[in-house]
């Protein structure tokens, strides 16, 4: 058998054409991978170069800014240099407090000065200053709102005081505050008939008191008139609180005088039914005790009032009077800015609820 031309030139004859084609394809893939890896390495090198250049530019900018702030070239920026530099770059006046806050924020070493490694770019300065500025505006707004609220509360308190006279009593207020106690004194003179009746008429005080009592009794329904007058006037909020308090306390003292008379009358009826009569000395002792107790109570109330102090130490009576006295806390402000009693608002709310309930039931 004659050999072919391929054997003559020394080239092997491929046993399988498909295998040959696969080999060629794998070689091309390897070359493409090598080319892509080379391009990627080149891109990474270029990116690293750009980052290094950018970092260098940033460092140069920081150093340049640092040199502008460091006017004495001591490689440190103190608070004064920092403030002057910021105001020059930002073209605005900064408060000492704001500069101190920014210095404290940047001074990582805590030595009160900035070194080059603590320095940042001007853009970062602006951002931090803007943050401080917003915080300062927020605090100023809160302070303004608080001041406005306090001003409104002060105005409300003053308005309440204008409506309800709870101020310190003046000299005239103290003098007038004693007058209501003449009401229980005149009604209580009936219990002093034994103590006052034994006088020979030479005591001018007793004579004057007898004249006043006689005039008081000549007025028809004098007790009722005095009672209603004191009750109406004590509800006038423009009158000083001490006077109003004493008016109410005088009414309660006069009411208290009714009970000894009631007990005495009932006891007299009971004893009359059993045909027993109390000794005059016992009756005299009882009435004298009532009158002396009244005089002591009136003396305490009068002296306290003259001194400008509220006489609120009478057992049972003073406590009841204090509960009836209105205070500034009983007033509120409605939506229209008008001051009214809270009881009125509560009553309106109750009426509204009742009306709503009726409408719902219907």
Is the pLDDT reported for residue 4 higher than 60? Answer: no
- Say how far apart CA 185 and CA 192 lie, in whole Å: 10
Q: How confident is the model at residue 309 (pLDDT cuts 50, 70, 90)?
A: very high
Say what the pLDDT of residue 201 is. Answer: 53
Task: Give Cα 75 to chain centroid, integer Å.
Answer: 51
- Once rounded to an integer, what is the mean pLDDT over residues 333-362? 57
Report the pLDDT value the prediction gives residue 303, as an integer from 0 to 100.
Answer: 96
Nearest to 213 by CA among 227, 202, 223: 223
The single residue listed with the structure tokens 């460092």 is 59
Confidence of residue 7 (pLDDT cuts 50, 70, 90): very low
197 vs 41, which has greater pLDDT? 41
HEC per residue, 253-304:
HHHHCHHHHHHHHHHHHHHHHCCCCCCHHHHHHHHHHHHHHHHHHHHHHHHH
Sign of CA dihedral 128, 130, 133, 137: negative
Q: Indicate if the pLDDT at residue 38 is higher than 90.
A: no
- 159-182: pLDDT as tens digits: 666 677 888 999 999 999 999 999
Average pLDDT, the chain: 78
pLDDT tier for residue 2 given thresholds of 50, 70 and 90: very low
Average pLDDT over residues 317-337: 75
Contacts of 83 (CB under 8 A, 6+ apart): 94, 96, 99
DSSP letters of 79-106? HHHHHHHHHHHHTS---HHHHHHHHHHH
Report the pLDDT value the prediction gives residue 57, as an integer from 0 to 100: 76
Average pLDDT score over residue span 186-213:
74
Burial of 213 per CB tally in 10 Å (0-12, 13-18, 19+): middle
Whether 111 has a pLDDT exceeding 70, the answer reads: yes
pLDDT band at 89 (very low <50, low <70, confident <90, very high): confident
> Which residue do the tokens 């009826």 mark?
269
Query: Cα(72)–Cα(118) distance, rounded to whole angstroms?
Result: 18
Cα–Cα distance, 47 to 34 (Å, whole number): 20
Per the DSSP assignment, residues forming a β-bridge with 340 are: 332
Of 289, 227, 297, 293, give the one whose Cα is nearest residue 264. 289
Contact 85, 69 (CB under 8 A): yes
């Amino acid at each position: 058998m004659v050999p072919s031309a391929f054997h003559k030139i020394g080239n092997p004859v491929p046993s399988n054409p498909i295998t040959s084609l696969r080999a060629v394809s794998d070689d091309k893939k390897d070359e493409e991978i090598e080319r892509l890896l080379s391009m990627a390495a080149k891109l990474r090198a270029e990116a690293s170069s750009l980052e290094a250049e950018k970092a260098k530019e940033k460092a140069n900018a920081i150093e340049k800014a640092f040199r502008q702030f460091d006017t004495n070239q001591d490689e440190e920026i103190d608070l004064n240099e920092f403030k002057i530099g910021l105001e020059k770059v930002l073209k605005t006046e900064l408060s000492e407090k704001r500069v101190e806050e920014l210095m404290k924020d940047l001074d990582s070493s805590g030595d009160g000065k900035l070194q080059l490694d603590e320095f940042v770019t001007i853009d970062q300065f602006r951002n931090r200053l803007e943050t401080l500025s917003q915080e300062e505006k927020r605090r100023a707004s809160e302070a303004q709102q608080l001041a406005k609220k306090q001003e409104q509360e002060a105005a409300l308190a003053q308005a309440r005081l204008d409506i309800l006279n709870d101020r310190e009593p003046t000299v005239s207020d103290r003098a007038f505050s004693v007058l209501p106690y003449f009401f229980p004194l005149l009604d209580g003179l009936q219990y002093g008939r034994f103590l006052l009746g034994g006088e020979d008429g030479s005591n001018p005080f007793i004579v004057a008191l007898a004249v006043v009592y006689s005039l008081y009794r000549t007025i028809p329904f004098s007790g009722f008139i005095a009672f209603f007058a004191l009750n109406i006037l004590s509800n006038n909020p423009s009158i000083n609180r001490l006077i109003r308090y004493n008016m109410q306390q005088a009414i309660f003292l006069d009411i208290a005088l009714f009970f000894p008379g009631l007990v005495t009358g009932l006891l007299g009826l009971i004893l009359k039914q059993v045909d027993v009569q109390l000794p005059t000395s016992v009756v005299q002792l009882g009435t004298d005790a009532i009158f002396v107790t009244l005089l002591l109570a009136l003396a305490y109330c009068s002296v306290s009032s003259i001194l400008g102090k509220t006489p609120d130490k009478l057992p049972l009576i003073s406590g009841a009077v204090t509960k009836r006295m209105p205070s500034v806390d009983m007033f509120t402000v409605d939506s229209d800015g008008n001051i009214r009693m809270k009881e009125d608002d509560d009553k309106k709310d109750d009426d509204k609820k009742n009306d709503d309930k009726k409408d719902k039931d219907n």
